Structure 1
Amino acid sequence: MNRITSFFWICSGADRNLLQKCPTESSKYAGIGATIFFTGLFAAIAAGYALFTVFDHLGLATAFGLLWGLMIFNLDRYIVSSMRKEGRTKSELLMASPRLILAIIISIVIAKPLELKIFEKEIEPELVMMEQETYARQEKEFYARVNPSRDSLGRQIDILKKEIALKVLERNSRVRAAQEEADGTGGSKKKNLGPIYKIKKADADAVEKELQELSTRNNKRINELQDAVDRKDSLIAGEYNLLEKKKMNGPAARMEALDRISDKSSAIAWANWFIMLLFIAIEISPVLVKLMSPRGPYDNLLRQTEHEFKVQELESVTKQNAEAKEKASTLPTHEKNFLSDKLDASL
């Protein structure tokens, strides 16, 4: 038990020799040391898990997690051991404010990976939806890029086919007019093959000839355009197959998914905040324990020891200056005055 207490004293940054003279302060500084130790331990565990989600390598995550935990442990130990209980709350709080701010930043960084693990079952379906949305957006962007040139070829083919269709309608109309003139159902209403019929038949034949020429010309062009469309479709199909359906499973995607489900569910949003506040409380607990602890015998004894050290230092400097002045009395006057001024300035 004494070894554990001594270990926590070391963690608190307190002077063990002074603590042994203050038995009533033993448990307080053992508690402060335990708080610092477990804060560093929790920081190491959380940072190790966070780095494991990034690197997916147990060795690297363990090494950097331990390094992070030791850094937090050393930082807390330094800040707590350097804080002096003088009964001035404002000055003590001002001194601790950098650590409090840093604690908030560290908590946000460390809490996120654990939140992702806690809400993993809720995040997985959201990741699937995000993958589908991403792929749908990729498809839309892909077709928006490739469709205009293909549609242009298709419009040209439609125009050529429409020209042929219009010419067919004209041909049919002329043939029908000639036939009606021949059987007396139209035109002059006289059944004969006279001059009027011959004129209409000649018009129909002329249009038929135009239709044949137009069909030959347009069909040739249509075939060329259709070949171009087929080649374009082949290229589009090849590029489409190259579209990657990436699985969204990284930390950034998971954080985005957590934000999305937090927006949808107020319960998850509140849980996020409470987890964050919990980690902030854990991170700032060593400083809070030191701030909340009352001034005790150890603080008085530490102040007295530091004051005695300053007095001894001042006495030592004064003695050295006196000896130097005594030696300087044997020097010439101008050197004596110069050295005396220097010694007075050092006091």
Structure 2
Amino acid sequence: MNYLTRFLWFCSGANFTLLKKAPTDASKYVGIGGTIFFTGILASLSAGYALFTVFQSIWYAVGFGLLWGLMIFNLDRFIVSSMRKEGKVSNEWKMAVPRLVMAVILALVISKPLELKIFEREINRELDKKKIEMLAESKERIAAGFPEVEQLEVQKDSLKSEIDGARLYRDQLQEAYDQERFGVKTSGSSGIVGLGTNAKKKEQQLDAAQRTLDQLQVDHQARIDKIDERLADLTKAKEEEFSKVQPQIDGFDGMAARIDALATISGQSQSVKLANLMIILLFIAVETAPIFVKLISPRGPYDRLLSLAEKKVEVYVDEKTTLLVRESELRLGKC
């Protein structure tokens, strides 16, 4: 008998002494032990990835992963070893149902982090989409808290529009003046070349428009500069507010966010939903396999030897109890 066989027997929770007397059951308990052992390994990997997602620390992940794997291993070992083959199907199913329920719960807990790892790329893309949406919502919310910005922008645009309007009017007068002095015949010009009376009037109008434009540019530019200074202060305040929100958005990749993203992906893609279901069913099958093996397998020599050993203990305890009661009655009778 090699060490691997003994180790797998230990994993199955079997009694070595009794199992050596029933060699025909040895391979069955090797298979059961192997299933329990590899379930523990999968549980370690699952818990390690889950904790690494939360703390981003390889040491925490490895430590907790090993601890969780050992706990699942011990629990599975207890579930299987506590089942008894008594030859009565109804009694066996009564013992198996609560153990099956517990095995299914364990399978769901173990499978979820590994599902997140398998669909990690798709989940990351979904999280990026949500981060972009959160950024847009945050910017809109912060902008709504600074209504003065919009008012100042309107004032600034209004001042620029007035300057543009004065410049446009000056340009129109410039064009009319040029047409008049160069003798271009239009509905508003005489068509005579030279600086005549009409040309001088238009020149005076042009000079007045230019002075108005220059004064307007000086006055409005001073107001625009003040508005720009105020806008710069408000922009800085908005950036400070956004800097408080930015880390929360960047850190939106925890376990709950990934589970929610996986649910969203599953709802959008039938293939992902089906693959997700197959993974869960696979883990349920692996976790419940040892229990079903004990249920469907016939009552073998090991089960009979185990029942005999337990019966011996029961009879021994009954004998000792009866003997103790009689000795006590004799002592009381003598008194």
Same fold (TM over 0.5): yes
Gaps of 5+ in 1: 160-219, 332-347
Give, as a single letter, the amino acid of the residue that structure 2 aligns with 1:324: S
Task: Please show how residues 29-48 of structure 1 align to structure 2 within 5 Å.
Answer: 29-48=29-48
Partner of residue 236, structure 1? 234
Residues 85 and 92, structure 1, Cα contact 8 Å, conserved in 2: yes
Q: Aligned equivalents of 1:327 and 1:105: distance in 2?
A: 55
CA pair 105-229 structure 1, distance change in 2 beyond 3 A = farther
Deviations 1:112-133 (A, max 9, x none): 3322322233333333222211
Name the structure 1 match of 2:254.
250
The aligned amino acid for 1:264 is Q
Report matched runs for 1:300-339 at 5 Å. Answer: 300-331=304-335
1:137 offset after TM fit, Å? 0.7
User: Measured at CA, do residues 14 and 141 of structure 1 come closer, stay the same or move farther in structure 2, by a change above 3 Å?
Assistant: same
269-278 or 226-235, which moves further after superposition? 226-235
Contact 2:44–2:68 under 8 Å retained in 1: yes
Residues 127-164 of structure 1: CA deviation (Å, up to 9, x unaligned): 322221111111111222222x55567889999xxxxx
Shift of 1:309: 1.6
Residues 26-65 of structure 1, C-alpha deviations (whole Å, 9 max, x = no match): 1112222222222112211222222222222222111111
Structure 2 partner of 1:279:
283
In the other structure, the counterpart of 1:135 is: 135
User: What is the aligned partner in structure 2 of residue 76 from structure 1?
Assistant: 76
Distance of aligned partners of 1:104 and 1:311 in 2 relative to their CA distance in 1, 3 Å threshold = closer
TM superposition shift of 1:229 = 5.8
Structure 1 partner of 2:115: 115
Q: 1:80 Cα shift?
A: 1.2
Matched to 2:264, the amino acid is: R
Q: Scaled by the length of structure 2, what TM-score is found?
A: 0.70
Query: Percent identical across equivalent pairs?
Result: 47
Q: Deviations over 1:286-320 (max 9, x none)?
A: 22222222211221222122112211211122222
Task: Report the count of equivalent residues.
Answer: 275
Task: Please tell me whether the aligned partners of residues 43 and 110 of structure 2 are also in contact (alpha carbons under 8 angstroms).
Answer: yes
SS of residue paired to 1:86: coil
Measured in 2, the distance between the counterparts of 1:158 and 1:238 equals 21
Counterpart of 1:176?
none
Instruction: Please identify the structure whose Cα radius of gyration is greater.
Output: 1
- The corresponding residue for 1:290 is 294
**Paired residue type of 1:239:** A
SS at match of 1:329: helix
What per-residue deviation string (whole Å, max 9, x for no partner) do you get for residues 85-107 of structure 1? 12333433333333433333333
